C-alpha cells in the first residue's frame, strides 16, 4: 500500500473544493464575473492543483480495487487462506469508491448550481 491513505486523498480533494469555493465567493463579492472564468481556467491547470489531486485520488481508488480483486483471486485459487485480509481489502476498496462517488456527486451538484446561476 502507498504512503497516502484514501482518506488523505479525499481530504485533499475536499480542501481543493473548499479553496475553489472561497475563491468563487471572493470573486462574486467583488462583482468581477468576467475575471472568474479566466482565473478558474488557469488555476485548474496548475501543477499540484485540483485536477492533479482528483487524478491522484482516482488512481488510488483504482489501485485499491485492483488489489482487492487480486486478493480475492488469490483466495479463490487457494494461494492464501486469510479471508479476513481479503474481506478487509474488499471493504477498503468499497469505502474508497463510495467516498469518490460522493465527491463526484457533490462536484456535479456544484456544477449544476453554477450553470443555473443567472448572469
> pLDDT tens, 46-81?
556 788 888 888 999 999 999 999 999 999 999 988
Give this prediction's pTM.
0.55
Would you give the DSSP letter of residue 1?
A: -
Name the pLDDT band for 27 (thresholds 50, 70, 90).
low
CA distance 15 to 117: 24
pLDDT confidence of residue 12: 79
Q: Are 100 and 10 a contacting pair, CB within 8 Å?
A: yes
Exposure b/e, 87-103, CB count within 10 A at least 16 = b: eebbebbeebbebbeeb
Amino acid at each position: 500500500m502507498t504512503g497516502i491513505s484514501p482518506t488523505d486523498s479525499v481530504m485533499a480533494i475536499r480542501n481543493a473544493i473548499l479553496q475553489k469555493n472561497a475563491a468563487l465567493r471572493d470573486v462574486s463579492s467583488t462583482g468581477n464575473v468576467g475575471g472568474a472564468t479566466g482565473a478558474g481556467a488557469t488555476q485548474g491547470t496548475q501543477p499540484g492543483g485540483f485536477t492533479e489531486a482528483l487524478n491522484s485520488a482516482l488512481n488510488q481508488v483504482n489501485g485499491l480495487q485492483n488489489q482487492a480483486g487480486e486478493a480475492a483471486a488469490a483466495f479463490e485459487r487457494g494461494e492464501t487462506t486469510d479471508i479476513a485480509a481479503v474481506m478487509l481489502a474488499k471493504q477498503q476498496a468499497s469505502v474508497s469508491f463510495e467516498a469518490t462517488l460522493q465527491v463526484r456527486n457533490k462536484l456535479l451538484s456544484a456544477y449544476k448550481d453554477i450553470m443555473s446561476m443567472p448572469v
